[in-house]
Amino acid sequence: MKSSFIFPGQGSQSVGMLSTAADNWPIVEKTFSEASSVLGYDLWHLCQQGPAEELNQTTVTQPALLTASVALWRQWFFADGSTPDFVAGHSLGEYSALVAAESLNFIDALKLVRLRGELMQTAVPAGTGKMAAIIGLEDAEVVAACEEAANGDVVSAVNFNAPGQVVIAGSTAAVDRAIEACKSRGARKAMPLPVSVPSHCSLMKRAAEELEEALDEVVFNDAVIPVVQNVTAKPETDSTVLKSNLVKQLYSPVLWTDSVRAMSELGVGTAVECGAGKVLAGLAKRIDRDLKVFSIEDSQGLKKALEGFN
């Protein structure tokens, strides 16, 4: 039976995250200290003390979640965990997956996600973009609702997270129209999300162009572990392909449902969420009920994962 590690993206952050882990594992605070020296502020203090409004700013959230995932990845191997057959990350989490696969080094990834957050924040003026979660509606119905609501504006399905759970993004007015269109088609819930940027839609193309320039200055290696990427839902190891898909990811949908299913079809029976929270663990079980899923953000979770992995 094959295995995978999955790395969370924005939305998994919370004030106090990984505090229990740090009490038991010195490597956690050490990793955050390494990140703080690059960022120029005390990232660990901000994650522990907040305020939440600052932690939830995408320019802070992205480095924080990357660092949390890398810290737990390091702890996994310190505890004699074995190397998974595949890695994948949800949106921002793909950068964590690339660090795990040794395609990117941690410091370069940290600088990239900080820049990524800045570019995303400035690409769309505050208040002009929006995201919303659509619950209880088939993917095709969500796509059709967005097409119906666009009226020349941008709105599209951007995160296919699990069956019956899709996130849409675009200009504020168009997203509001799409919310109503989804409700009229029978969505159980259609609600705006408290995020500052409309990720993974065409409004991010300019940010992607600037990010591509930065990516060209960074060393990308071929991945030592296949990375199932958001844009293709296929495992990739070639550094050129990995980098190209990372650029496209910024303005393209996250095919998370397809990614988990692809890993299952490749023989993955065990998935370990490596990062703050347990969002992806829950989604993975909804996508594939036969999948054994673990989270390693605390000692108990790590112990269970090590037992289930071996």
Helix (H) or strand (E) holding 238: none
* 4, 103, 156, 200: the active-site residue: 200
Cα 188 from Cα 263, distance rounded (Å): 29
Cα 12 from Cα 10, distance rounded (Å): 6
Q: Are 12 and 65 in contact (CB under 8 A)?
A: yes
Q: Is 91 a catalytic residue?
A: yes
* Residue 26 neighbours by CB under 8 Å, 6+ apart: none
* Residue 300 neighbours by CB under 8 Å, 6+ apart: none
Q: Is 196 a catalytic residue?
A: no
* Residue carrying structure tokens 């919370």: 14
* 3, 4, 12, 91: the active-site residue: 91
Q: Is 236 exposed, middle or buried (0-12, 13-18, 19+ CB in 10 A)?
A: buried
What is the set of active-site residues? Answer: 91, 200
